[in-house]
Structure 1
Amino acid sequence: MISMKFANILLETNPRSVTYPALYCRSDQPVVFDEQLGEWEMHNAGMFDFSTYFNSLSVMKLKRYTRAKGFSLHLELKGASCEVIQTMGDAFAHNPIPVEGTSRKLEASADWQIVDLPLTVSDDMVVVGFIVKTDGSVAIRNSYYELDIDGELNDVELVLSTTTFKKEAFIERNIGLVKDQIINSGDSIAEHFHMYVMDNGRTLDAEKLSGDRVQVVPNDNVGGAGGFTRGMITAMEQTPKATNILLMDDDVAVSPESIKRTYNLLRILKPEHREDMISGAMLNYEIGEDQWEDIGNMTQQGTFAGCKPQLRLTLFEDLIYNEMYTPTKWQRNNMYAAWWYCCIPISVIEKNGLPLPVFVRCDDAEYGIRCNTGFITMNSLCVWHMSFFERYNAAVERYQTTRNTMIAQATCGMAPGADFMRELHNNIRLELKKFGYENAELCLDAFEDFLKGPSFIKKPGQSEQSFMAANRNKEQLVDFETLQSRADQDPELAGFSIKNVDRQLIDGDKSRSLAERLEDLITDNNQRYIKKDGAGYAVIPLQGWLYPAGAIRGKHKLVVLDWYNRKGTIRTKDVQRYQEIKKRYMRDLKYYKANINRLRKEYAAARAELTSIEYWKNYLKMD
C-alpha cells in the first residue's frame, strides 16, 4: 500500500470564501486568518464543521473510480482544548452525522499538536468530513486527507490550457495563482505540470508572463475551438508528452486546490476509468455558493442543458445530491463536459481526433458526445464563471449556436435524436414575436451558412469573419442614457423613464386568456393573417430564450433591457419586415429539403480532415 496526500483542508481569503464561508467551514464563531503568523484561527469557543463542499471527502466516488482502500485525516492544531469528530453523509442526510468511535480529544497547548485520525468508511457513506469542537481559540495549519492506494501511482503529466481574448485581468490573476500555488508549491504536481495560455487577442505581455512551466502563446483569433485545439496539439508534442489536458475558460476564478485534486485523482484512477473525462463544475461568479452545471447534455429539443438541477452548495443535502445523481438514459447517451473546466486524456484525443473548427459554441458539447467516455464529477472540482444571463450575446446564441449544432450533427453524428430544425423554427418565431428582426435574421444567416456545406467552414479565417459579421449584424444595444434620449424623441414612448424601471417591471408578464393565446400562436403577435400595427409599448428583458407573451401582445414598441450590463434598445413592430423574413425562411427550407441528404454526406466525409492534426496545424499556422 502507498499513502498519498489527496486533498488539503482548504481555507482561503478571496471574495468567494469571505462571502460564502460555508463552502469551506460552517461555524457559530468566525474563522480568521492571521497575516502576521500566516495561520488560520477558529476564533473563540465554538463548533467548526468542515463537512463542506471543499473540505468533505467524496469517499463514494473515490471508491468507485480509484484504487483508494483506506482514508485518514491529518490535522495540525494548537490553542485551547478541543475535540475532533468524524462526520458522514449518506443518501438521506440533511446534516452531517457524527460517526461513533472516531473522535480525538486534545488538551490545550501552545505548541502544534498532530492528529492522525483513521476514518471509518462504509458502503453507505457518500461523503465524510469532520467537526472541531473548541473550548477557545484554536489555530489550524498543514491539514489534509490522506489515502492508502492499492498499487503504484499512475504516471501523470498534466497540462492546463486556457484560451483568452482580451480578458487580461482574469488571466493574469490565474497565471499568478498557478505560479504561486502550483509550480512553487513543492507538491508532486509542480514537477509534472505545464500551463499554456493561447492569447487570441495578442494583448498579453508574453515575455513577462511566461516562465518556468508557463507559456503564453500569441495566437490568431481562432476562437475557443482553435485556441483549445492548439493547446491539445502542444500538449501532445511537448517533452515529456502530456497524459492529460485540463481545458479551462479564461474569464473564471479558480482555486488552485481544484487543479491539485484533479492531478491527484488522475494518479489513482482505476485502469477502467483512466480514459474518463473529469468534468469540473461551473459555480455562479455572482452567487458563489450556487452550482449551475457540472455535466451537460444535449436535449431532445436541441438545446444545451445541465443534467442536474441548480444546487446550493452550502446546503449539506445538496452536496449529497451532487455526488449521488444518476443521469437518465438520454443524458448518458448525449452527455458532455463543458470546457470551462474539463480534463481530457491525451489518448482519447488521439483516438477521436481534434475538435471541429467552429470558432465558439458547441465545440465542447460535440467533442464530449463524440468521444463517448465516462465522466467523473466530484465536489470541490470547479471554477466560478459569470452566469449566462450576464453575458447574453445574440451573435453567439442565434448565429453560432444555430450553425454549429447543425454542423456537429451532420459531421460527427452529435445527438442524432436532437431536433435542431425544431429549435431553429422556435427561435425564429420567438424573435419575430418580440420584433427582434435582426436576431431572427442571424438565425437565417447561420442556417444558410450551414447549407453552404463543409467547404465554407474549412477555410482558415472564415469562422472569425462569420462571427465578426454576426456581431455587426446583431441588434445593437446602447447605454441607458442614450436609450432615454431616444425614448424622449419618440412620441409613442411618452412617459417612459429609465429611472422608473426596476427588475419587477423588466421580468414581469401579464396573463392571457385561451383565446388570446390562440391568436398569438396563429398570428405571431398580429403579424400573420391578422396584421395590426399595435399600440403602446412594453418593457421586456433582453435574453432571447425568455417570452413575456402577455406583456408584448398588441404592442407597437418594445423597450428591451439588459439590466445586468445597463444597456438596451427600442424595437418597433414592422409587419413588412416580418413577411420578408418569413419568405426568406421558406426559401431556405425548400433548399434544405432538396439538399440535406447530400449535405449530410459531404459533412460526414469531411470529418476526418477537419479533425486531423494536419488540417489544424495549417489552420493555426503552426507549420
Structure 2
Amino acid sequence: MTVDFKLSNVVLTVDDHAADHPELYYRAQAGAARYEDGAGLELTGTADFLTYVNGCSACKWRMYAGLQEVWLHVEVAGAGEIRIDAVASDASDRQVFSAHAVDAAPDSPVALDIEVPTAGEDLIGFIAVPAEGERLVIVRAYWYAKVDPARINEVRLALATTTFNKEAYITANIDLVQAGIRAEGAPILGNFHMFVVDNGRTLDVDALTDDLVSVLPNPNTGGSGGFARGMMAATEHPGEFTHVLVMDDDVRIMPESLIRTYNLLALAQGPYRDAFINGAMLSLEDPVRQFEDVSFVLNSGAYRRVKTDLHMGSLSDLLVNERTNVEVPNAYGAWWYSCIPTAAIEKNGLPMPFFIRCDDVEFGMRNQPVFMTMNGICVWHESFEGRFRASVDCYQYIRNFMAMIAVDDCASEGLFIVRIRRSVRQDLRDLDYSAAELLLDGFEDYLKGPQFLESLDGAELMRQNGARNERLMPVEDMDPELLRAAGVTREVLSHANVESQASRFMKVLRSLPYDKHYLPKPMLGTRPGYVVKNGAAMIEGESLARETLVFLDPTRTKGTIRHMDRARFRAIRMREHELLRRHRTIGKQVRQAWKDAFPYLTSREFWTKYLGLES
C-alpha cells in the first residue's frame, strides 16, 4: 500500500520582493497571467512553469529520496492543454514528455494527475497552453510521490531565527511563516515551531507568542549566542524536535521553502537521512541572482563557493545548480538558511561563542556533514558588495578563524599566518591603517587564549571596534577636483563589475614585499591615485607611489580620501613583528589551550551560564 506524499507546491503568486522577476515562478507574456486570490492564476497566453520555484528537481529527488517517479496534480478550468516537459540527464534542452487536453467549464475545474518517471531526467516542469481565444485558470497544483508509509521519516522541525533591532524584518517573517504553515496544514502543521530569539529585547513577547511561535528574549550575544539559544530551546526536551533550521532575521523568505525542507527531510534515504539542508541565498537587489548555497574552506584558510553566481531565470543555470555536486570536503552552509539534525547538536555541541563571523563555518568544520540543496529552497538577502567593515571582516574573521583552526584542524595555521601578513601588507599599501590595526587586534586577541572569549562582552567590543571603522561618504560629496586628479572618471564610477580587473603584471607586483612608505618623498607621485576594492580584493585602480588615495567601495557610490601616515605605518609594522614573534614563542601552547577549552565553550553548561539562564 502506498500513500500520496506532497513534494512541493506550485507557487502561483509572485512574492513582492521578486515582483519584477516573475520568471522565477513562471514565464508568460506581459499581461497574459493574472492571479486572483481564491480563484487562481488566470492565463490568456502560454505560461511555462519549468522554473526555479516551480520545476520539479527530478535528479535531486531521485538521489536524496530514491524516487523513481513523481506525479503532477493540477486543478484547472477552461480549455487548452497541460504539457509536461523534461530535461534529460545528458541534455541541455527540454523535450516534450506528454500532453493532456483540458476542457472544463470556467466554474468547474477538473483535476489531472500526471505520472512522470524520473529515471534519466534532471528537471521536470509543465506548460499551460490555453486554446486559441480561450482562458485557462490554474486553481491549484503540486508535485507528489506515491510512497510506502513505512519509509516516511518522522520529522519535527524547529525554526530558530535571531534578531537584533530589526523589527520590520522579523515581524513580517513571523506573519509569513504563520500564514504559510497554517495554510499548508498537515503534515508540517503540528510538527513545526518557530523560535524567535530577540537579542535586542524589543519585541512584544505576549503579542507574538502563540502555539506556532515563541519569542525568547536574550542578551545581545550576537548571532552565535542567538542561534545557540534557539538550538537550546529546540533540544531542551530530548526527542521534541528532530531538526533545527537556523535562519537570519534580515531575509525575505518564501514559506514554501520551509514546506519543501520538511518534505525532503521526511523522504530522505540512506546517507541523506542525517544530512544538513542548506538553502541558497539570492540577492534582494537582483532577485534572480543566486550568490551561494554551499561553500568550503581551503587549506590556506580561504573560502570558496561550490558554485559561482547563477541566474535563476535561465534554464541552463537551473541545470548547473542541480547538477553541481555540493558534497565536497570541508563544506559548510551559511546560517542564512541551514537545517541541522538535532542529533548533530546533541552529539557535537552548540556554536562557538564568536558573537559573529565564522560560527557557521566552524560548525560545518566540526560536523563535516553531508549537504542537500534544491531549487526553490532559498532566501533573499541583501548582497554583500559594499558591506565591508574592518571590525567584522578583519578583527572578527582573524580572531575566530585562528580559533577555528585550533579546534578543528581545518586548515594550515602556517598558510593562514602568511595570509595575515599579506593582508597587512596590502592594507598598508592602500593606506587602510584601520583595517591593518583591527586585523592585528584579532590576531592578538586569539593569542590571549580561550579565557578571553569566555568572559568577553562581545556587544561592547563590537561597539568599540565599530567606532574605528573607516567612514565613507557619498561620492557626490567628495572633492570633484581631487577625483579628477586621481583618475576617477564617469566611466570608473559607472562600472558595475566587482571582479578584479588588474593585469597579470599588477597582480604579480602586488604580491611582492615592497612598500611605498620606505620611499623618500621625492620618489612619491604628487598626483593622487585611486583604488576600488571589494573587501580585501582589489578590483581596479593604482596606488603605486601615491601619498594620497581615493578609495571607492565596490558599488562606486561611496568612498573616502586616505593620506599616507609614516608614523602609523611604522607602529603597525613593529606591532606585526612583535605578534609574530609572540606566536612563534607561545603559538603551540595557545592552540592547545583552545582545543582543550573547546568542549566546554560549546556545551549547554557554558551557554546556560553565558546567557544568564541559570534558574
Instruction: Report if TM-score (shorter chain) is over 0.5.
Output: yes
Helix, strand or coil: the match of 2:609?
helix
The residue that corresponds to 1:396 in the other structure is: 392
Letter in 2 for 1:536: R
Q: 1:97 aligns with which of 87, 95, 98?
A: 95
The residue that corresponds to 2:203 in the other structure is: 204
Residue 36 of structure 1 deviates from its aligned partner by 6.3
Output the CA distance in 2 between the equivalents of 1:313 and 1:511: 29
Helix, strand or coil: the match of 1:274?
helix
Letter in 1 for 2:141: S
Distance 1:250 1:499, change over 3 A: farther
Residue 204 of structure 1 deviates from its aligned partner by 2.2
Letter in 2 for 1:18: A
Instruction: State the superposition RMSD in angstroms.
Output: 2.7
Letter in 1 for 2:23: A
Residue 436 of structure 1 deviates from its aligned partner by 0.1
Helix, strand or coil: the match of 1:467?
helix
Residue 540 of structure 1 deviates from its aligned partner by 3.1
Matched, 1:18 2:16: no
- Are 1:493 and 1:536, in contact at CA under 8 Å, matched by a contact in 2? no
Output the CA distance in 2 between the equivalents of 1:548 and 1:271: 45
The residue that corresponds to 1:146 in the other structure is: 144
More displaced 10-residue stretch of structure 1: 404-413 or 26-35 = 26-35
Q: 1:465 aligns with which of 460, 463, 479?
A: 460
Distance 1:323 1:586, change over 3 A: same
More displaced 10-residue stretch of structure 1: 533-542 or 354-363 = 533-542
Output the CA distance in 1 between the equivalents of 2:30 and 2:416: 53
- Are 1:333 and 1:369, in contact at CA under 8 Å, matched by a contact in 2? no
Distance 1:183 1:535, change over 3 A: farther
Output the CA distance in 2 between the equivalents of 1:192 and 1:517: 54
The residue that corresponds to 1:62 in the other structure is: 61
Superposition pairs of residues 351-370 of structure 1, within 5 angstroms: 351-370=347-366
The residue that corresponds to 1:266 in the other structure is: 265
- The Cα offsets for residues 383-409 of structure 1, whole Å up to 9 and x where unpaired, read as 011111142222111111111111011
Distance 1:559 1:550, change over 3 A: closer
Residue 495 of structure 1 deviates from its aligned partner by 6.9
The residue that corresponds to 2:451 in the other structure is: 455
- Are 2:197 and 2:218, in contact at CA under 8 Å, matched by a contact in 1? yes
Superposition pairs of residues 387-536 of structure 1, within 5 angstroms: 387-416=383-412, 419-459=415-455, 461-479=456-474, 483-484=477-478, 487=479, 503-504=493-494, 522=512, 524-528=514-518, 532-536=523-527
Output the CA distance in 1 between the equivalents of 2:25 and 2:566: 56
- Are 2:194 and 2:212, in contact at CA under 8 Å, matched by a contact in 1? yes
In the comparison of the two structures, how many residue pairs are matched? 608
Helix, strand or coil: the match of 2:116?
coil
Distance 1:36 1:346, change over 3 A: closer
Output the CA distance in 2 between the equivalents of 1:200 and 1:564: 30
TM-score normalised to structure 1 length: 0.91
Distance 1:295 1:522, change over 3 A: closer
- The Cα offsets for residues 553-593 of structure 1, whole Å up to 9 and x where unpaired, read as 23221222347495432210123322221111011101111
Residue 297 of structure 1 deviates from its aligned partner by 0.6
Output the CA distance in 1 between the equivalents of 2:269 and 2:308: 29
Percent identical pairs in the alignment equals 34
Helix, strand or coil: the match of 2:518?
coil
Output the CA distance in 1 between the equivalents of 2:341 and 2:420: 34
The residue that corresponds to 2:610 in the other structure is: 619
Output the CA distance in 2 between the equivalents of 1:362 and 1:60: 32
- The Cα offsets for residues 266-289 of structure 1, whole Å up to 9 and x where unpaired, read as 111215322110011011111111
Residue 422 of structure 1 deviates from its aligned partner by 2.5
Superposition pairs of residues 95-494 of structure 1, within 5 angstroms: 95-99=93-97, 102-135=98-131, 136-152=134-150, 153-238=152-237, 241-327=240-326, 332-416=328-412, 419-459=415-455, 461-479=456-474, 483-484=477-478, 487=479
Helix, strand or coil: the match of 2:538?
coil
More displaced 10-residue stretch of structure 1: 151-160 or 433-442 = 151-160
Distance 1:187 1:278, change over 3 A: same
Residue 538 of structure 1 deviates from its aligned partner by 3.0
Output the CA distance in 2 between the equivalents of 1:556 and 1:506: 27
TM-score normalised to structure 2 length: 0.92
- Are 1:77 and 1:114, in contact at CA under 8 Å, matched by a contact in 2? yes
Output the CA distance in 1 between the equivalents of 2:218 and 2:92: 49
Matched, 1:579 2:544: no
Output the CA distance in 2 between the equivalents of 1:210 and 1:340: 23
Output the CA distance in 2 between the equivalents of 1:565 and 1:223: 30
Helix, strand or coil: the match of 1:119?
strand
Residue 39 of structure 1 deviates from its aligned partner by 2.2
Helix, strand or coil: the match of 2:109?
strand
- Are 2:486 and 2:549, in contact at CA under 8 Å, matched by a contact in 1? no
Residue 83 of structure 1 deviates from its aligned partner by 1.1
- Are 1:295 and 1:336, in contact at CA under 8 Å, matched by a contact in 2? yes
Output the CA distance in 1 between the equivalents of 2:193 and 2:602: 24
The residue that corresponds to 2:583 in the other structure is: 592
Output the CA distance in 2 between the equivalents of 1:550 and 1:287: 26
Helix, strand or coil: the match of 1:349?
helix
- Are 2:301 and 2:412, in contact at CA under 8 Å, matched by a contact in 1? no
Residue 77 of structure 1 deviates from its aligned partner by 0.9
Output the CA distance in 1 between the equivalents of 2:334 and 2:305: 10
- Are 2:494 and 2:556, in contact at CA under 8 Å, matched by a contact in 1? no
Output the CA distance in 2 between the equivalents of 1:294 and 1:492: 41
Output the CA distance in 1 between the equivalents of 2:550 and 2:259: 48
More displaced 10-residue stretch of structure 1: 379-388 or 124-133 = 124-133
Distance 1:538 1:447, change over 3 A: same
- Are 1:542 and 1:562, in contact at CA under 8 Å, matched by a contact in 2? yes
Helix, strand or coil: the match of 1:3?
strand
- Are 1:274 and 1:345, in contact at CA under 8 Å, matched by a contact in 2? no
Residue 211 of structure 1 deviates from its aligned partner by 2.2
Residue 497 of structure 1 deviates from its aligned partner by 12
Letter in 1 for 2:42: E
Output the CA distance in 2 between the equivalents of 1:256 and 1:418: 44
